[in-house]
Amino acid sequence: MKNNLAFMKNIPSFLLFLFIGFYSCKAQLSVEPMVPSEFQKAIQSNTEAIVLDVRTPEEYREGYILHAVNVDYKNENFKSEIAKLDTAKTYYVYCRSGGRSANAASYMKSVGFKNVYDLKGGITSWKADKFPVIQKPLPVGN
């Protein structure tokens, strides 16, 4: 009975320890989203950084941020494509509205990428703030 009481007294401390441990690990992997003006300044000032568009190829063709590389978050090969990237480089990630890019950026942090930034609100917010997008015409017949 005495052992049970000692155990019961330690449960709150143990739960607090687990919560703090989980929260601190989660906080290390979180990616702070950047508003379009910050994102734009960052990609202009860091010419070595990679702009990563994680939308579908069809969405990408509708318009993308200058120099963006397309790696489709929904594609089954997403993780293997990310594994080919240099973890030491800086990445600015975006999608249509911010959901996929937040997930992609968090995944990248979880596998060792140190410098990953997410565009808050995605290309939708980028366009709303009147920042430019590149649009390539589709080939004739498509």
The answer to whether residue 25 is catalytic is no
Provide the residue-wise pLDDT of the chain in tens; the chain has 142 residues. 555 555 556 555 544 444 444 443 444 468 889 999 999 999 999 999 999 999 999 999 999 999 999 999 999 999 999 999 999 999 999 999 999 999 999 999 999 999 999 999 999 999 999 999 998 765 555 4
- What was the pLDDT predicted at 29? 63
**Catalytically annotated residue among 65, 68, 95, 108:** 95
pTM for this one?
0.77
Q: Under a CB-based contact definition with an 8 Å cutoff, are residues 31 and 116 in contact?
A: yes
Say if 92 falls within a structural domain.
yes
- CATH code of the domain in which 39 resides: 3.40.250.10
Q: Under a CB-based contact definition with an 8 Å cutoff, are residues 29 and 70 in contact?
A: no
Statement to judge: residues 23 and 42 lie in one domain: no
- By CB atoms closer than 10 A (0-12, 13-18, 19+), residue 81 is middle
Distance CA 51, CA 67 (A): 7
**Structural domain count, the chain:** 2
Statement to judge: residues 86 and 23 lie in one domain: no
Say if 135 falls within a structural domain.
no
